[in-house]
Amino acid sequence: MEFYAVCSIFVMLGFVGYVLQFFAVHSAARESGKNCNMTDPVAGNFRPPVTILKPLKGLDDSLFDNLASFCQLDYPQYEIIFTLQDNNDPAFRIASKIRDKYSHLDITIHVERSAFGLNPKVNNLAPAYARAKHPYVLISDSNVLVERNYLTVIAQHMADPGVGIVSNMIRGTGGRSWGAIFENLHLNSFIVGSVCMLDRILKMPCVIGKSMLMRRTDLEAVGGLSAVRDVLAEDYVIGKRMHDAGKKVVLSTHLINNVNEFWSMKKFLNRHTRWGKLRWKIGGLRYVSELIGNPVFVSCLPIVFWTANEITVLTAALVGSMKILGDYLLARSIDCDMKPSRYLLVPVKDFIIGCIWFIPLLSQTVIWRGNRYLIGKDSCLSPCSESAFGVFTQRLTQSLRDRLAWAWRE
Partner 1 sequence: MLLCDFHIHTTYSDGSIELRKTIDIFGQSGFDVIAVTDHVVNTDSTIGAIAHRFQYSVTEKTFDTYLQAVRDEAVRAWNKYGMLVIPGIEISKNYISREKSAHMLILDVKNFIPADWSYEKIFLEAKRQKALTVACHPHAMSGMSKNTYYLWNNREKYAKYIDAWEVANRDDVFSVIGMKQYPYIANSDFHKARHIYSWKTLLNCRKEVSAVKSCIRHNRGVAITLFRN
Site for partner 1, rule CB under 8 A: 58-59, 61-65, 90-91, 93-94, 97, 100-101, 176-177, 261-262, 264
193 φ/ψ sector (left φ>0, alpha ψ -120 to 50, else beta): alpha
What's the rounded Cα separation, in Å, for the pair 108 and 131?
10
Entry field: residues in the chain: 410
220-242: string of b/e by CB count within 10 Å (b at 16+)?
eebeebebbbbbbbbbbbbbbbb
CB atoms within 10 A of CB 309: 11
Q: Are strands 211-215 and 371-375 parallel, antiparallel or unpaired?
A: unpaired
Q: Minimum CB separation from partner 1 for residue 371, in Å?
A: 15
Q: Minimum CB separation from partner 1 for residue 169, in Å?
A: 24
What's the rounded Cα separation, in Å, for the pair 53 and 97?
17
What's the rounded Cα separation, in Å, for the pair 374 and 390?
12
Within 279-407, strands assigned E span 365-368, 371-375, 381-383
Q: Which is nearer to partner 1, 148 or 176 (CB)?
A: 176
CA 392 vs CA 34, 89, 232, 363: distances in Å: 51, 32, 20, 9
What's the rounded Cα separation, in Å, for the pair 63 and 142?
7
Angle at 256 (CA atoms; ends 253, 262), nearest 5 degrees: 145
Q: Are strands 78-84 and 50-55 parallel, antiparallel or unpaired?
A: parallel
Phi, psi of 260 (to 5 degrees): -130, 105
Q: Minimum CB separation from partner 1 for residue 356, in Å?
A: 23
Q: Minimum CB separation from partner 1 for residue 398, in Å?
A: 36
Q: Minimum CB separation from partner 1 for residue 89, in Å?
A: 9
Q: Which is nearer to partner 1, 97 or 113 (CB)?
A: 97
Q: Minimum CB separation from partner 1 for residue 349, in Å?
A: 20
Q: Minimum CB separation from partner 1 for residue 65, in Å?
A: 7
What's the rounded Cα separation, in Å, for the pair 25 and 259?
20
Q: Which is nearer to partner 1, 60 or 234 (CB)?
A: 60
Q: Minimum CB separation from partner 1 for residue 179, in Å?
A: 11
Q: Which is nearer to partner 1, 179 or 276 (CB)?
A: 179
Contact predicate 172/184, CB 8 Å: yes
Q: Which is nearer to partner 1, 145 or 153 (CB)?
A: 145
Q: Which is nearer to partner 1, 65 or 244 (CB)?
A: 65
Q: Which is nearer to partner 1, 26 or 99 (CB)?
A: 99
Q: Minimum CB separation from partner 1 for residue 166, in Å?
A: 28
Q: Minimum CB separation from partner 1 for residue 184, in Å?
A: 16
323 φ/ψ sector (left φ>0, alpha ψ -120 to 50, else beta): alpha
Angle at 196 (CA atoms; ends 195, 200), nearest 5 degrees: 125
Q: Which is nearer to partner 1, 101 or 271 (CB)?
A: 101
Q: Which is nearer to partner 1, 136 or 182 (CB)?
A: 182
